């Protein structure tokens, strides 16, 4: 198995997993969503922390991960990756709060009549 095939497979599995987590969070009944989130959210948070840790500013204020190459091509921290992750988490949290508000709609009950 070449590295490209392995990489594509890993990426596809990650995308499918994240899509499944999102679908259960948005469409699942409250009990299923809670159980599923307790099982899967800690792993997602751990992955984000790994990414954030890799992209911390060094002693000169540059991203320690994005600084490969000559010194004049180093990237100031926070780098684009960290900004993108922060934006995605903020937007997702804002959307979740809006969807969970009583004015919007309620989570479906697990005990439907």
72 vs 103 by CB, closer to Zn ion: 72
Please, what is the minimum distance in Å from the beta carbon of residue 55 to Zn ion?
A: 4
The strand pairing partners of 6, in sequence order, are none
CB-CB contact of 64 with 56 (8 Å)? yes
**CA gap 9, 60 in Å, rounded:** 37
25 vs 79 by CB, closer to Zn ion: 79
Please, what is the minimum distance in Å from the beta carbon of residue 40 to Zn ion?
A: 26
Kindly tell me the burial class for residue 104, based on how many C-beta atoms sit within 10 Å of its own C-beta (0-12, 13-18, 19 or more): exposed
Site of interaction with Zn ion (CB under 5 A): 55, 63, 65-66, 79, 81
Select the residue whose beta carbon is closest to Zn ion and give its number.
Answer: 79
41 vs 76 by CB, closer to Zn ion: 76
């Amino acid at each position: 198995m070449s590295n490209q095939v392995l990489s594509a497979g890993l990426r596809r599995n990650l995308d499918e997993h994240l899509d499944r987590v999102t679908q259960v969070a948005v469409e699942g009944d409250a009990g299923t969503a809670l159980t599923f989130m307790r099982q899967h959210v800690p792993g997602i948070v751990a992955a984000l922390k790994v990414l954030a840790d890799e992209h911390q500013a060094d002693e000169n204020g540059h991203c320690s991960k994005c600084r490969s190459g000559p010194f004049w091509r180093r990237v100031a921290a926070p780098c684009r990756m960290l900004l993108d992750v922060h934006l995605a988490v903020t937007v997702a949290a804002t959307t979740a709060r809006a969807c969970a508000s009583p004015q919007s709609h309620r989570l479906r009950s697990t005990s439907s009549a």
